[in-house]
Amino acid sequence: MKARLRVVATLSAALLMAGCQSQFQQPSDLLFAPTFSKTRQNIPYTYNTPYDCRTFTGSGWKGIASGKVNNFDQTYLISQAGCFKTQQECEAWIFYMRGYIDIPRFMRCNTYTA
């Protein structure tokens, strides 16, 4: 009985480990998996989206996020704006941008009418 339990436990562990191998192929995958690239090409943007202030109509909230982004040996300033129908959407966008910008200079949601 104990031998059968050991075999079942060993097979279960082997199947579990085999399933996990497809997620991480290299040590760098594990190290950098929860992060994202901070190159200029990957800056979160609102242009040409439903949140673009150039096409926003009516009243709502305008979020502005600016500051310094550090990407290893590169440091650069960014500034982004987005227009949202609700304050909750604007605050969620600001919260997301806080995770991207390392040294914030201006992060705010204000009422806005286009």
Q: What is the pLDDT of residues 59-72, one digit of tens each?
A: 999 999 999 998 87
3 plus 16 within the same structural domain: yes
26 plus 63 within the same structural domain: no
Task: Work out how many domains the chain is built from and give that number.
Answer: 2
- Overall size of the chain counted in residues: 114
* H or E element in which residue 71 lies: strand 59-71
53 plus 108 within the same structural domain: yes
Q: How much is the pTM?
A: 0.65
Sheet of 74-84: strands edge to edge?
74-84, 59-71, 103-113
13 plus 48 within the same structural domain: no
Contact criterion met (CB below 8 Å) for 69 and 101: yes
4-58: per-residue pLDDT in tens?
A: 767 666 656 555 555 555 555 554 444 444 455 677 777 888 889 999 999 999 9
56 plus 3 within the same structural domain: no
Host domain of residue 12: 1-34
Average pLDDT, the chain: 80
Helix/strand/coil (H, E, C) string of 78-94?
EEEEEEECCHHHHHHHH
50 plus 75 within the same structural domain: yes
